[in-house]
Amino acid sequence: MKQNILTAAICLTITLHFCSCKTYYIPVDSFKQQFAGLVPSKEVTTRGPGGNKVTYMTYPIDTIKCVDNNGKPYGLTNSPSLEIRFTYANGKRTISYFDLLRINDTLLTGGQSRFIPTIRKTISINSISKIEIQDGKKKFKYFKQQTH
């Protein structure tokens, strides 16, 4: 009996977490335009829930241009807890942190972990059919920001 209640509570918590995260969409052409001509030139230090700090370079994008479910434009403030999901034409998906993205011509590399830099995935931008972005509500915060 206790096991069933615990399982139900865990399922409810997970469901509420995912339902509470508002998902926005970035048209592929808009995504390409937002990164056009940019290089990772903004140094940030992220502090995770355990207090661990990681310093890295990211793109100087403070607001991401996206749309909501109704196609209404929305400016989403960049933060270290933003997760971006790329869906390919074949339905497969890749998830990354927005501020860990690297774009080189037609290739996109995304960091899937803040603290293990080798967990990365590279995909062709031309293979992307849909881009979704949301605040994963993880307790990551920028500790300090400097622009170079």
- Predicted confidence (pLDDT) per residue in 81-139, tens digit: 999 999 998 999 999 999 999 998 889 999 988 777 788 999 999 999 999 999 887 77
Closest to 88 measured CA to CA, from 50, 121, 51: 121
Sign, CA dihedral 114-120-125-131, equals: negative
Closest to 60 measured CA to CA, from 36, 25, 81, 83: 36
What phi and psi values does residue 105 have, to the nearest 5 degrees?
A: 55, -110
Banded pLDDT at 19 (limits 50, 70, 90):
very low
Distance from C-alpha of 119 to C-alpha of 47, rounded to nearest angstrom: 19
pLDDT of 11 strictly over 70: no
Bigger pLDDT: 105 or 12? 105
Distance from C-alpha of 91 to C-alpha of 129, rounded to nearest angstrom: 9
Average pLDDT over the chain reads 83
Residue 110: what pLDDT? Answer: 93
Residue 13: what pLDDT? Answer: 46
Residue 12: what pLDDT? Answer: 42
Distance from C-alpha of 36 to C-alpha of 83, rounded to nearest angstrom: 20
pLDDT of 79 strictly over 60: yes
